[in-house]
Amino acid sequence: MLHTLVKAIGLACFMLGLVVAVPVSRAEQPWQVAADGLTQARIWPQSFAMRAGVEPTRSVHGTGHSTPGIADRASDRCEQPDDATLKAILPVATDHGSHATGVVYDTNRVLTAAHAIHGGSHFFVRVGDVFRSADLVMVDHVNDLAVLAVDTQSIEPLRMSGFNPARSQPVWAVGYPRAQAMMTSTGVLQGSREGALHASASIDSGQSGGGLLSCQDGAWKMLGMLRGYGATLQGDHYVKLPNHSVSVAAATIDEFLRSYH
């Protein structure tokens, strides 16, 4: 017999002042709605439907072999992201007043959320104490990914994860909420589905494009890019859930980056 209780979900964007949503179906989840207030449409084209206890696997770099999740790897335990890791996560801004977050993933390249800079003509990344002009060189609106070219000075890039996400593995969410100081929060991975990672690490407006981090072999890697947070529909408005973030998975990001090379 089919489960008749279906929850509604979309994806809440982090842009300041944007809270309108269009729901997307999801089954057996304890939360109700998430929104994309910028486009007023679902961010993820696929359904979020996911059965409890079922975790999809994904091959890495086209090898055709699934890689074990990293939650059980004893050598991967870290206390918290170090200064060198955090330096790779930077504030991003546009000429139309939007504020977001970006991650240095390669020399002079910053990954951010496409919806966070949509509509801007000029883009800026804060490197050190200075906002530097940046060029938009790559964008994927379907997966909400964009790349900015900017002089990142001596910042060490944050590398993408090469392992499959594993349910309950510890994660950290890092970004710049509401154009203010960096915020870090910790949680666990709650599940993954078709490029979307759901985690209990709390986030806020302005953290779009930030890093969802995990520890692998004693080093911090980027498990995903922060994209939205869960929200519940209360009357005619949405209320953000305190402990539910949604990110683009590293495998999806890697496919995007390789497709442009």
| pLDDT of res. 192 | 86
What would the DSSP string read from start to end of the chain?
A: -----EEEE--B--STT------EEEES-S--EE--TTTTS-SSSS-----TT-----BSTT-SSBPPPSTT-GGG--SS--HHHHTTEEEEEETTS-EEEEEEEETTEEEEEHHHHTT-SSEEEEETTEEEEEEEEEEETTTTEEEEE---TTPPPPPBP-S---TT-EEEEEE-GGGSS-EEEEEEEEEEETTEEEE-----TT-TT-EEEEEETTEEEEEEEEEEEEEEEETTEEEEEEEEEEEEEHHHHHHHHHHT-
From 88-92, 172-176, 241-245, the region with the lowest mean pLDDT: 241-245
Euclidean distance between CA atoms 30 and 50, whole angstroms: 12
Q: Which residues are CB-contacts of 27 (< 8 A; sequence separation ≥ 6)?
A: 3, 5, 6, 7, 49, 50, 51
Look at residue 235 in the predicted model and tell me its pLDDT. 87
pLDDT of 18 reads: 31
pLDDT tens for residues 2-41?
Answer: 333 223 334 444 333 232 222 222 322 333 334 433 332 3
**Both structure tokens of 26:** 């999801």
| Most confident segment among 71-85, 101-115, 206-220 | 101-115
Is the predicted pLDDT of residue 86 greater than 90, yes or no? yes
| The pLDDT value given to residue 261 | 63
Q: From CA 109, how far away is CA 196, in angstroms rounded?
A: 23
Q: Would you say the C-alpha torsion 14, 253, 143, 110 has a positive or negative sign?
A: positive
The b/e string for 87-98 (b: 16+ C-beta within 10 A; e otherwise) is: bbbbbbbbeeeb
> Given this model, what pLDDT does residue 163 score?
80
Asked whether 30 and 50 are in contact (CB, 8 A), the reply is no
What's the whole-number average pLDDT of the chain?
75
Give the pLDDT of residue 225. Answer: 97
Q: Does residue 97 surpass a pLDDT of 70?
A: yes
Q: Where are the domains of the chain?
A: 86-149
More confident residue, 232 or 41: 232
What pLDDT was estimated at residue 76? 57
86-149 under CATH 2.40.10.10, yes or no: yes
pLDDT at 4: 31
pLDDT digit string (tens) for 109-167?
Answer: 999 999 999 989 999 999 999 999 999 999 999 999 999 999 999 999 999 998 888 88
pTM: predicted TM-score of the whole model, two decimal places: 0.73
Beta pairing partners, 133: 124
